Amino acid sequence: MKAAVLDQINKPLVVAEVGLTPLRHGQVLVKILLSGICGAQLQEIGGYKGNAKFVPHLMGHEGVGIVQEIGEGVSFVKPGDKVVMHWRKGQGIESDFPRYIYNGKEIQSGKVTTFSEYAIVSENRLTAVPHDTPDELCALLGCSLSTALGAVNAEARVQPGESILIIGAGGLGANLIKAAKLAGASPIISLDIHEHKRDWVKGLGADLYINAATEDVATALAGVQLRDVDVIIDTSGAKRAIETTLPLLSGKGRFILLGQPKPGETIELTNAVHLFGGEGKSIKATQGGRFEPHEEIPRYLTLHKSGALQVEDLITHRVKLDGINEALDLLRSGKAARILIDF
């Protein structure tokens, strides 16, 4: 089968023929329909995730597919099931790391992998869903949409009428706008550095767009009668974005870090005493919005059926696996939101 392999850190992925190995205890063979491309993969390619020692390895952590075969002990999914492929742990067995054959040698993947036609997946990284669930919704529930909903609801505990500033209008940022809208946040402010995103984020539900490349954030907020914001969620991990927006937290403010700063990077708190203003502000790093797949996916599917959660406008590009490197460049440029690989 064909797979995109991270063969060397900081080099384009190699799309190559990769062999499967027999399923082990708790493993499931999935034929992949769609995979999302996440900013986390750019960090892996850069070696930021401590993954250099595992190279070459397979990639991708959000997708949707059909179960082909199950290994010994697997009980939560069966052949023919449609499954959301997610990186957070859900129900079932945590298997050994899946193994593949690449260039005659055994290589590993993470417990879930999605940049390949087929994947061997740990049972607990799969959640079965009804067959009529849209593929795009399933794929986004593997990471970006579920992380956004979790960050807004479980981590920031956004209350109706609270203001929110979302830094970065990429795949995750776009999902966060939707999640904030669902939670009743108001106003919803989106910040990025590309002028062409202005109309698009407003279509998704943002009330205000700040182009940080040309506008001063505090001045733009004053334009909508805001001196500060209740919730700030950063998806960029960018030192400057975090440093300039932290002092804008309201007295009950929560700052949630989703984008990881580069290893070794220092972020300074200007006039740190402001954190003691009001009721005590908080800064928190989140792991995927504490998403619990087996409990939350069914809830989100109900929300989708009701019409309250639409995802089609979150997807800006679709590519084939052979176009993966061009897609990664596009993601790096900051010009795309969610890009899907269509198998």
Q: Name the minimum Å distance from CB 38 to Zn ion.
A: 3
Give whichever of 255 and 291 is closer to Zn ion, judged by the CB atom: 291
Give whichever of 58 and 70 is closer to Zn ion, judged by the CB atom: 58
Q: Name the minimum Å distance from CB 148 to Zn ion.
A: 10
**Amino acid present at 105:** K
Distance, CA of 62 to CA of 115 (rounded, Å): 9
Among 33, 85, 143, 188, binds Zn ion (CB under 5 A): 143
Give whichever of 56 and 60 is closer to Zn ion, judged by the CB atom: 60
In the sheet where 14-17 sits, what is the strand order? 14-17, 2-6, 57-58, 105-108, 99-102, 19-20
Q: Name the minimum Å distance from CB 142 to Zn ion.
A: 8
Give whichever of 38 and 336 is closer to Zn ion, judged by the CB atom: 38
Question: Are the CB atoms for 241 and 217 separated by under 8 Å?
Answer: no
Q: Which of residues 38-97 bind Zn ion (CB under 5 A)?
A: 38, 40
Give whichever of 40 and 70 is closer to Zn ion, judged by the CB atom: 40
Which region among 77-85, 137-145, 218-226, 238-246 touches Zn ion (by CB under 5 A)?
137-145
CA torsion angle 315 292 305 172 (round to 10):
-20
Query: What sections of the chain are H helices per DSSP?
Result: 39-45, 135-141, 144-150, 171-182, 197-204, 217-222, 239-245, 293-305, 324-332
| 256 Cβ neighbours under 8 A, 6+ residues apart | 151, 155, 156, 231, 232, 233, 234, 284, 285, 286
Cα distances (Å, whole numbers) of residue 175 to 72, 163, 167, 238, 321:
37, 17, 12, 19, 23
Q: Name the minimum Å distance from CB 177 to Zn ion.
A: 17
Q: Name the minimum Å distance from CB 143 to Zn ion.
A: 3
Q: Name the minimum Å distance from CB 30 to Zn ion.
A: 17
Which region among 5-13, 141-149, 227-235, 304-312 touches Zn ion (by CB under 5 A)?
141-149
Distance, CA of 171 to CA of 315 (rounded, Å): 8
Q: Name the minimum Å distance from CB 289 to Zn ion.
A: 11
Size of the site for Zn ion (CB under 5 A): 3
Per-residue binder mask for Zn ion (CB under 5 A), 4-43, x = binder: ----------------------------------x-x---
Q: Which residues bind Zn ion (CB under 5 A)?
A: 38, 40, 143
